Copies of this chain bind each other. A is one copy, B any other.
């Protein structure tokens, strides 16, 4: 443990958000200082409630997160927000503009907002975001809102970090997006039907309720929690207090039913695998010798990728060229 990491952890615990932002940046960058700070604060029990907000692009997740911040502040809660940037070029970067709206909270010392992004080919988003959630908790925030944009393994890994996951739908998306949403049902603890003032909201609600019935049947035998559906118009704040109440009810359910403990166990195991998935490639690469020469030989067609990868995987030197 370096002096610098210990100092950063102390500042962070005292609620210094600049120190918090710096430590999160270290995690994103894969800087060893980040892991050191994390180890320093890791002993403490989880205190902050983590609410995940996910759903298809265009559902208004950022606007909803913005409205949730306002409502949580009204309830006297300090709020950290981790907005996970799309790591895939398939996701539309233009959507990030929506997030600017949230920035009006940045002058409020009770609000901390951070966009999380992957860097480089080898990912690391899930472990960085999980680590960031722990740091935000350690800095004294009561709630951590984790917003994920887009879908994919990275986002799934991140969704698993939340205690309560809100899946946001919206009236009027096409059939193909409905198919995606059907997949989202598996992770939903609470459903928000956002933009509920749009035409088609009533039929969207009927469709969602029909899917919810199917899902409730599928979950037969699991601890009883029927995910509620709350209509919201996030841009006006309508339905947002009811949505938070539903999240609170889920929190109470988790504690009372023992489901919270079961999930914590699963979460720990999943984080372990996510850490391995994200960090194992770098570790093996870091041990490889002559990497530049191998990449050049690969690109020139002098060796094939399978042989080069095998050499790194075996933990030895690279193949003779």
Residues of A within 8 A of B (CB): 35, 38-39, 42, 56-59, 87-92, 94-95, 121-123, 131, 150-156, 172-177, 179-180, 182-184, 186-187, 264-266, 268-269, 271-273, 275-277, 279-281, 283-285, 295, 298-301, 304-310, 312-315
Contacts and interface: CB of A to CB of B under 8 A. Distances in A.
Which residue, of A151, A273, A306, has the highest number of chain B Cβ atoms within 10 A?
A: A306
A57 B300 CA distance: 37
A180 B57 contact: yes
Contact of A275 (B150, B279, B305): B305
B273 A121 contact: yes
A306 B130 CA distance: 10
Give this chain's copy count: 2
A154 B156 CA distance: 13
A275 B301 CA distance: 17
B272 A309 contact: yes
A55 to B, nearest CB: 10
A176 B308 contact: no
Given A156-B89, A281-B277, A312-B276, A306 B38 contact: yes
Given A88-B151, A152-B151, A281-B276, A177 B177 contact: yes
A287 to B, nearest CB: 8
A92 B179 contact: yes
Contact of A180 (B92, B284, B307): B92
Nearest to A175: B58
Contact of A283 (B265, B284, B299): B284
A314 B283 CA distance: 8
Contacts of A176: 56-59, 92, 173, 177
A154 B277 CA distance: 13
Contacts of A312: 276, 280
A297 to B, nearest CB: 9
A176 B94 CA distance: 11
Considering the complex of A and B, which 3 residue pairs feature the smallest CB-CB distances, nearest first? A58-B176, A92-B179, A152-B152
Contacts of A307: 39, 42
Contacts of A182: 92, 94
A310 to B, nearest CB: 8
Given A89-B186, A180-B90, A280-B283, A305 B58 contact: no
